[in-house]
Amino acid sequence: MDTEFRQIEKRKQVELYYQQKDNGCEGIFGGARNGGHWNKTSKDGEITETISNCRFILKPEDSKCNLYSAIREKSMQYFEKQKISWWRQKEDGYFPTGHLLSSQIHCLNHLFELRTDPKSLKAIIDGATGMSFDKVLPSLIDNDPESYISFEFAFKNDEWLHEIDDGAKRGTLCTSIDAMVMAELAGKTWLIPIEWKYTEYYTREDKTKRERLNRYSKLIETSKRLKTPTNGIPHSVYFIEPNYELMRQALLCEQLVANGYADDFVHINVIPNGNTELRNAVENEFVPMLKDKSKFKIIDPQDLLSPLEENNLHPELIEYLKKRYWYR
């Protein structure tokens, strides 16, 4: 679905691409060629149509240039080491997508440079949550003491959420949180799950299925974070995106707390201010279903990273983001 915001962003990204190309410099996109393809698929995952020569998609062999130059190799190595799926990776040769509006790329371009910088990371989560953490903690799942953000976070999904689909791994076929940060405050461990959106909107498809009800209904009914819908769980707000994804993330975080991996969590949903359709959907549908609304934050990506600019941290990254995504 092409909303007005998505059309605006698509036009801006394409214009930026051609400005770089016409100036004869590699610039933001590293000399990449556009004209990639887009496969439309059915609900069963079958390809129904291939659209070629898309101006807003880089060719698969150049798709890594969709990433900020300082993180291209590091992020690809991280995804390979952690066995994380790239969005539509089969179509792009197990490379990052060349789609200029990808929210996965948008997320990585904003956050990956901070993965090994706990000082900068603390600054942005303090600002986003309104809390003042004592310190940021290493990743629970990356097996790397210098990794302070887990991208495409998943943990014991089969045991806790009964997500047992074949081929499930971080980033595909299971509940994955785009970025997970853990921090300590007064001796307690806090989770800061970050759901990252860019131009997404949804067609209001009802995702209610018996298998999904079997997985999540009991957890919703016993949740300390989510209210039980008065008209029952099937076909409820929880099975309509974007709420379906947020519901599952909340349940996963609750299980982490219940099983002693953390004491509490603040759920952050990054959505650009301009994406009013998506922001309104979350504010009007998901937020009213929370028992404690103070532990759910919706924030614009530029506002999230504003503490970096204010403290002159990562100036080259900020300059890139201003050129690539930030227009105000």
Looking at residue 23, what is its pLDDT?
57
Lookup result for tokens 């519901």: 247
Cis status of the peptide bond prior to 242, with omega within 30 of 0: yes
Please check whether residue 180 is in contact with residue 82, taking contact to mean a CB–CB distance below 8 angstroms.
Answer: no
DSSP state of 141: S
Instruction: Check residue 24 and give left, alpha or beta (phi > 0: left; psi -120 to 50: alpha).
Output: left
Please check whether residue 183 is in contact with residue 192, taking contact to mean a CB–CB distance below 8 angstroms.
Answer: yes
Looking at residue 24, what is its pLDDT?
47
The residues near 207 (Cβ < 8 Å, ≥ 6 apart) are 239, 240, 241, 244
CA distances 263 to 78, 187, 189, 195, 259, Å, are 28, 10, 5, 20, 10
**Phi, psi at 54, each rounded to 5°:** -80, 125
The whole-angstrom separation of Cα 328 and Cα 326 is 6
Looking at residue 20, what is its pLDDT?
76
The residues near 223 (Cβ < 8 Å, ≥ 6 apart) are 250, 251, 254
CA distances 40 to 88, 149, 164, 306, Å, are 11, 32, 26, 37
Burial 21-41 (b: 16+ CB within 10 A, else e): beeeeebbbbebebebebeee
Q: pTM, whole model, 2 decimals?
A: 0.96
What are the sequence ranges of the domains in the chain?
69-94+102-323
Lookup result for tokens 């997500």: 163
For the chain (328 residues), the mean pLDDT of every run of 10, in chain order, is 91 92 68 90 79 93 94 96 86 82 97 98 98 98 98 97 90 94 98 98 94 98 98 97 98 98 98 97 98 98 98 96 88
| Tokens read off for 198 | 């860019």
Please check whether residue 199 is in contact with residue 9, taking contact to mean a CB–CB distance below 8 angstroms.
Answer: yes
| Residues forming a β-bridge with 63 | none
